[in-house]
Amino acid sequence: MTVGVLARIKKLKNWQMVLIIAVVGCAVLFTGLNNPFQGDDQTQIQNNLVVHSFSHVIVLFEGSTFYNGGGATTPLFGTFYRPLMMTFFSLIYTIFGAHPLYFHLVQILFVIGSAVLLYLVLQHLFRKPLLSLALSLIFLVHPMNSQIAFAIPSMQDVLFFFFGILAFWILLQYDSEKSLWLVAGSLFLSLLSKESGVLFVIMALFYLYLFNRARLLSFAKIVTLPVILWLILKGNAVGLFGLDPHSAPIDRLSLFGRIMTMPSIILFYLTKFVFPWKLATQYHWVYPTFSVQHVLLPLIIDVLVIMLIVLVGRQIKRKANKKQFKMFLFFAVWAGLGLAPYLQVLPVDMTVCENWFYFSMVGVLGMIGTALIVFKLRVNPHWLALLAVVIIGVFGVRTAIRGTDYSNVYKLELKDVSVSKEDFQAYNGLSQSEINQGNYAKAKAYVEKSIAIYPSMTNYQNLGAALVYQGNYAGAYRAYEDGLKYGHYSQLLDDLAELTLVYGSPTTNQKFFASSLKQYPHDSYLWTYYALLFYRYGNVTYAKGAMSYALSGTQAPSIAVGVSKAIANNERIAIQVGNKTVLVP
């Protein structure tokens, strides 16, 4: 890089810097545009009747994110409150339909927009355009953030960060009291995207405390309103503390066990930030007892890193002006605060996740930027610029490659289990893929591995499905019932309903439907199989009555329509149960 090139870049205006960020973002993230729906997309988008029409938007503020067979006007179930994410899903689906391209496009545009806003924030704080550009590009293309760009369920992270950093930019850019209302409004949107929006509220207050105390009290009063409103909405929808106590292996541990795991958690994020080569969507390892490898050694490294940060901070305090020390302190708190909710003091649904460093990464980059400004390294600036280009290039290539992993569900899950050996959900996903390919023995082996790591509703569902295809109906029935021990999931009940065509006595099957329909009175599949039970034993009148309920929903499944016509015409019905075709009556 010549002196002339670097000098010309320094003279670029902000809009030109923004254009560079946009071009780099598009060049790196385009690999994720054509990836299919996968994972939680099925119950959050594809099969979610509530998001299929924007007219149901109010319902999205009354529940969580997952569709559970309740119909288009029933609040969604789950433990997390994400109404803004679901509203975006509904808007995209209403305009474009079930095409993942448009979901990915919107998500990537928001990711690039967040990097642009981060650049504007850093440029306001540092007054160093090249440094701000380099740090923002690292943030944009860092492989740890790849899942945020490529996995549609991560839209929650994209939106919470975008509206949070937007709020922070407004706070820096404008001094009027009216602008504080815009800040509060953006923070409210961040909170509606994900609970982590609280982090931006805290950091905005902390920034004003450090740098502009004259506005602190006014902002504190104004921001109280959206926070209280969000708490009311969240409490009404999922409860104030909507944590799922049975969602991951980390939940099994006592507080002591989680504290033993904590040093490895911190080390995970530190090492992934520096060496983000091996990537996975989630990690479920736990280290509940003391060991040198997993507790003592990580603890020593963590303490050394913290001591290094403190040492750098002390040197900045001695060497630089008061404002620069406050800046370093501000970003150090930003990094630590972002990591605090994920240290498993209160267990969450994974041990670690690369996504969870998204907020903290800004703090780390901010500390690096402040240190580079204060400590004028005796290195040719062109070599530093070249190093930044190399880092951005390497990270960008790795992120682009990661985007191709999402092109195929099976490929992604194989990549995940090769890195994250305890990923029970990936093993369960592999089982589903093998079922779809007709490899039922292999599917059974994968799902049994998943259950051995951590039993749940979904892996028992796949075990049941694999056994159905192998003709082991009694085993499938037990698997579905075992799955219901971990919570009620309408799809499990639908599978049990289908199984009544080949297994169970009329009395036990009748009791099953009575119980299940009491819990899910709007489940069209349950009503359809209930009608088939009646039709099978010659009670046509009751069968027609059950079908009237099956067809009463806003979008009755195709099987309900076909069964209804056959019953009305007194025809035999062929239903596929696994590899067996069942004729009714």
Which candidate, 531, 523, 524, 472, places its Cα nearest to that of 502?
Answer: 472
- Please report which helix (H) or strand (E) contains residue 580, including its range: strand 580-584
Residues 109/271, Cβ–Cβ less than 8 Å: no
At 581, is the secondary structure helix, strand, or coil? strand
Residues 525/556, Cβ–Cβ less than 8 Å: no
Residues forming a β-bridge with 583: 574
Tell me how far apart the alpha carbons of residues 226 and 210 are, in angstroms, rounded to a whole number.
23
Which pLDDT score, from 0 to 100, does residue 1 have? 47
Residue type, 146: S
Tell me how far apart the alpha carbons of residues 135 and 283 are, in angstroms, rounded to a whole number.
27
- Helix ranges, 127-154 (H): 129-141, 146-150
Q: What is the pLDDT of residues 257-267, one digit of tens each?
A: 999 999 999 99
Give the dihedral sign, CA 379/383/388/394: negative
Residue type, 260: M
At 506, is the secondary structure helix, strand, or coil? helix
Ranges of the chain whose pLDDT falls below 70? 1-6, 242-246, 379, 553-556
Measured CA distances, 225 to 56, 62, 207, 441 (Å): 26, 19, 20, 56
Region for 535 from its dihedrals, namely left if φ exceeds 0, alpha if ψ lies in -120 to 50, beta otherwise: alpha
**Token pair of 398 as six digits:** 């790795």
**Token pair of 174 as six digits:** 């404008």
Which pLDDT score, from 0 to 100, does residue 554 have? 56
Q: On the CB side of 284, how many CA atoms lie within 13 Å of its CA?
A: 21
Tell me how many degrees the CA angle 77-530-49 measures, rounded to the nearest 5.
30
Tell me how far apart the alpha carbons of residues 233 and 286 are, in angstroms, rounded to a whole number.
34
Domains in the chain, CATH or no CATH each: 243-376 (no CATH), 413-584 (1.25.40.10)
> For the packed helices 129-141 and 3-10, what is the interaxial angle rounded to 10 degrees?
90
Instruction: Output Rg (C-alpha) for the chain, integer angstroms.
Output: 27
User: pTM for the complete prediction?
Assistant: 0.89
At 174, is the secondary structure helix, strand, or coil? coil
